[in-house]
Structure 1
Amino acid sequence: MKNIIVVCEAGITTSLLVTKLNELAQENEEEFNINSKSTEEGLDYVQEEAVDAVLLVPQIHHREDEYRKVTKGKVLKVSVSDFNNMNAFSIFEQLNEVI
C-alpha cells in the first residue's frame, strides 16, 4: 500500500482531487492510500509516518524545501493548470511515474 498525501493551505480544497485520485487508483487496481492534509498538519504527518509521495498544490509550492527536508518520499508540485482544472488523470500519471 502506497501512502500519499495531497497538501494545501487548509486541507479543504483538495477533497475533490483526493476523491478523484482514489477513484483512479481503484479503477487501475493500485493500492494507494491518498489523503489530504493542511500545510502544518502535513509537515507533522510526514515526520511521524512513512509516505511514498507528497503532492503540493500551487498555493504552497514555496514550501517544497521544507517537505523535502523531513520526508524520504517523493515531493511533487501539482501544476496550476492541473489543479485549476482538477485534472486528476494527469496528476495520477505523474504520481505513477515517480512511485
Structure 2
Amino acid sequence: MMGENLARREGFKDFIVNQGCDILHPDLRNSGGFLETRRIADLAHIYGLPMANHNTGSQVYTYAAAQWAASIRDYIALETITGEGGWMDQCWCSTVRTSRMGSFR
C-alpha cells in the first residue's frame, strides 16, 4: 500500500501506470479532495489497482470518506483510528448502520 502523502493525479500516475504498488492508499485531504481522488481511482481501475483510504481524521471525516468510498469501484478498506481510546472514541454516539443500498441511517 502506498499513497497517503501523494498529491493529485500527477503524484499517483507513475505508480499506477508502472504498477508500482498492489493497493493505492490515498488520503482524501492530501490527494486533492473527493473529485480529484475519484479521478485517481478511475485511473487505478483501468490498471487493476484497488483502493483503500488512509484516514487519521475525525469521525466526520470517516463518515465522509465512507460515503465517498461507496462510489469507487475496486474499493477494499477504509482505515480508521477509532478504538484507540481517548476523546475520539467518546464522539461516537452509536454503532454505524447502513441501509441495504449502502447509505448511512
Q: TM-score, normalised by structure 2?
A: 0.40
Name the structure, 1 or 2, with higher relative contact order (CA <8 Å, separation 6+): 1
Which structure's residues are more often helix, by fraction? 1
Q: TM-score, normalised by structure 1?
A: 0.41
